[in-house]
Structure 1
Amino acid sequence: MDHIQFALSTSKEARTMFDDIRVVHQALPGLGVEDIRLQPETGDLRLKSPVFINAMTGGGGSETEKLNAILARVAKETGMAMAVGSQMAALKDPDERNSYEIVRKENPDGILFANLGSEASVQQAKDAVEMIEANALQIHLNVVQELTMPEGDRDFKGALERIRRIADEVQVPVIVKETGFGISRETAEQLAVASIEAIDVSGFGGTNFASIENERRQRKLAYFQDWGIPTAAAIVEVDSVFGKTILASGGIRSALDMVKAFMLGADAVGLAGAFLRIAMEKGEKELVLEINSLHEDLAMMMTALGAASISDLKHCPAVISGELFHYLTVRGFEPASFANRSKN
């Protein structure tokens, strides 16, 4: 509950670099809104919506059980997948299982992601999947959060090998995600040799766990406050070396951000803090309305771009400028290539 309260109280607009992208309008799109297909191509994840509820809650007793119940019902009504927060709390304390198991009770046929950190063993991964009858498993990388956390881990050796073993032995697809500091090309190259299905870039610009953990410290680690790869840049980094499903999260706040994420190479996008705030401040019905509006707005913008599917957006031209242009250029990418492509 500390994490939830601090996530809401420390939330602020941060630079995802999506503002440095301008889409190129197509005055002859050649299709109508009724032609738009929002179901993305996500391999074994089999997502029905290009938007999903990313990992947030669980392990905080009855309060997080109530929150997860709300989010699970919203996911069921809107056809979205949903990830739970780290299940290590329930693996250590069986009394916390209810705060996670509620999502399957509320959404018996939905797509649910289990969640553990990279310190988990194969058996813990299997137990987490079994706990919520998960369709996939998220393994989160949270080095900066752990380093900032007063009681956090300080040793991260062996994480890649543990991920490889888990991916080889669990019976569901494995997603590796960051927790708001981004995945670099170098990290994605290492993950590409593991048997994982997807990478969630989870870039800088959304919930800042360094800021949250600094609220729990006497001496703040200020150098981690602005640490990380902005989400837009992280998508390009990962897409350059990872050939499977790419998920994007981290400060995505609107359907326009989503369209830009898809144009950069993402297959689906996850929201956490934005959905959490609506659920807590306005309630379940308002969150359903917001998600339905996001789906509608996506279809409208895709129509204006002549993109019948999410994958079509990857071929639509977009002009990259400003800080993102500079970042991509010095990292060896070619921003101009995005401006001169065609879906035809």
Structure 2
Amino acid sequence: MTAERSSERKDDHVRLADAQQREAPRPNGWDDVTFVHHALAGVDADRVDLGVEVAGKRWALPFYVNAMTGGSASTGVINRDLAIAARETGVAIASGSLSIALDNPELLGTFRVIRDENPDGFVMANVGIERGPDDARRAVDALGADALQVHVNAVQETVMPEGSRSFSSWPASLEAIVAGVDVPVVVKEVGFGLSAATLTRLADMGVRYADVSGVGGTDFVRVENDRRAGRDYAYLAGWGQSAVECLLEAPLHAPTLFASGGVRTPLDVARGLALGARAVGASGSFLSVVIDGGAEALISRIREWSDHLAALHSLVGATTPEALRHTDLIVRGRAADFARARGVDLDSLARRAGGKDAR
């Protein structure tokens, strides 16, 4: 594919993803999780510390700007604004897939701007699982990245007009990447979820981090199907598991987990942390903010999320994100149905605080 055509595809992705974000709000998997309210459990807000450790470094916030875009002039502007917002707020950031720039080096600047504008921040590069270790190292070096996201997207490739259907080589390719780079690898779905079996397999491969990236946010079946002349894969919309479902069934020996997919509010972040995620990523919710108002609007939004998340910690009596894992949760709806079918004990989640109103 030519650089021009590849850039057009990246612009199509942003346009279609943004259009989904502007649709009427609809429930997603995060709505299946409710904190049990204990009226005397709160703590002073100034005791809350939102910092978490990831890959040997401390993140000031337990949420991050997840992979979005890059590869065209307009997406380069978006990446610049995302990077400025990350720099000013201290939030970690992941690039979109650098595969297009690895094939077309003249487009690398649309990604490199993430590091240029954010020289001291935590930056994750991103490549597809089919790429070899040489390409993975090139992507890391291009951004001076602290970690590498390797995205797995078989469902998207299936619907993508120019997508691949050759998936059997992916495990060996991933193992080669993990062995071939000097930074932590985060295996990331693109909105269809990572099952317990997949997380077990990743752990056996030596993968230390995984972003379950479940259904509920930008649906890449819809994005790619809208690019098809016949729009003939519409029936696959909604394929996969939500981040909530993935976190609920994650095995104890799973890699350290990140959660993303349909994260809309600080409450969704708190839900993900309470279900065991080390940090929670948002893409679509931040994309529309940047498109409408640039870096300054996203800076304001991230600071708002930080303030609200600290307030939620205070409300439920958790002084750290780790402490949220000891709060009482009720799981209902589709997530509860999924969990019961998969043998997950939901009753224990509702009694994690040991019956105490104050902790």
- The TM-score range, normalised by the shorter chain, is over 0.9
Q: Find the aligned partners of 1:78 and 1:273 in 2 and give their Cα distance.
A: 18
> Quick check: 1:203–1:250 contact (8 Å CA) kept in 2?
yes
Give the superposition deviation at 1:218.
1.7
- The one-letter code matched in structure 2 to 1:28 is L
Query: Does 2:62 match 1:39?
Result: no
1:266 pairs with one of 261, 277, 283? 277
- The one-letter code matched in structure 2 to 1:53 is V
Residue matched to 1:114 = 125
Give the superposition deviation at 1:224.
1.4
Q: Find the aligned partners of 2:236 and 2:198 in 1 and give their Cα distance.
A: 19
Give the superposition deviation at 1:45.
5.4
1:327 pairs with one of 338, 344, 359? 338
Residue-by-residue CA offset, 1:80-107 (whole Å, 9 max, x unaligned): 1111111011110111010011111101
Give 1:47-62 correspondences, 5 Å limit: 47-60=59-72, 62=73
> Quick check: 2:212–2:260 contact (8 Å CA) kept in 1?
yes
Residue matched to 1:246 = 257
Give 1:64-143 correspondences, 5 Å limit: 64-143=75-154
Give the superposition deviation at 1:284.
1.7
> Quick check: 2:42–2:315 contact (8 Å CA) kept in 1?
no
Please list every run of 5 or more consecutive structure 2 residues that lacks an aligned counterpart in the other structure.
1-10
Q: Find the aligned partners of 2:98 and 2:201 in 1 and give their Cα distance.
A: 25
Give the superposition deviation at 1:255.
0.8
Give the superposition deviation at 1:196.
2.0
Please list every run of 5 or more consecutive structure 1 residues that lacks an aligned counterpart in the other structure.
none
Q: Find the aligned partners of 1:84 and 1:183 in 2 and give their Cα distance.
A: 20
Q: Find the aligned partners of 2:253 and 2:245 in 1 and give their Cα distance.
A: 14
- The one-letter code matched in structure 2 to 1:72 is A
Q: Find the aligned partners of 1:242 and 1:15 in 2 and give their Cα distance.
A: 31
1:194–1:122 Cα change, 3 Å: same
TM-score, normalised with respect to structure 1: 0.96
Q: How many residues align?
A: 342
Q: Find the aligned partners of 2:347 and 2:257 in 1 and give their Cα distance.
A: 22
Superposed CA RMSD: 1.4
Over the matched positions of the two proteins, sequence identity in percent amounts to: 37
Give the superposition deviation at 1:168.
1.6
Give the superposition deviation at 1:30.
5.8
Q: Find the aligned partners of 2:290 and 2:107 in 1 and give their Cα distance.
A: 21
Give 1:226-237 correspondences, 5 Å limit: 226-237=238-249
1:323–1:329 Cα change, 3 Å: same
Q: Find the aligned partners of 2:129 and 2:55 in 1 and give their Cα distance.
A: 23
Q: Find the aligned partners of 2:42 and 2:291 in 1 and give their Cα distance.
A: 41
- The one-letter code matched in structure 2 to 1:330 is A
> Quick check: 1:16–1:232 contact (8 Å CA) kept in 2?
no
1:153–1:241 Cα change, 3 Å: farther
- What secondary structure sits across from 1:114 in the alignment? strand
> Quick check: 2:94–2:123 contact (8 Å CA) kept in 1?
yes
Q: Find the aligned partners of 2:57 and 2:238 in 1 and give their Cα distance.
A: 32
TM-score, normalised with respect to structure 2: 0.92
Query: Does 2:241 match 1:225?
Result: no
Q: Find the aligned partners of 2:276 and 2:55 in 1 and give their Cα distance.
A: 15
Residue-by-residue CA offset, 1:112-163 (whole Å, 9 max, x unaligned): 0010011010100000000010000000000011010000001111211211
1:211 pairs with one of 205, 215, 222? 222
Residue matched to 2:324 = 313
1:236–1:137 Cα change, 3 Å: same
1:105–1:49 Cα change, 3 Å: same
Residue matched to 2:7 = none
Query: Does 2:298 match 1:293?
Result: no
Query: Does 2:179 match 1:179?
Result: no
Give the superposition deviation at 1:9.
1.6
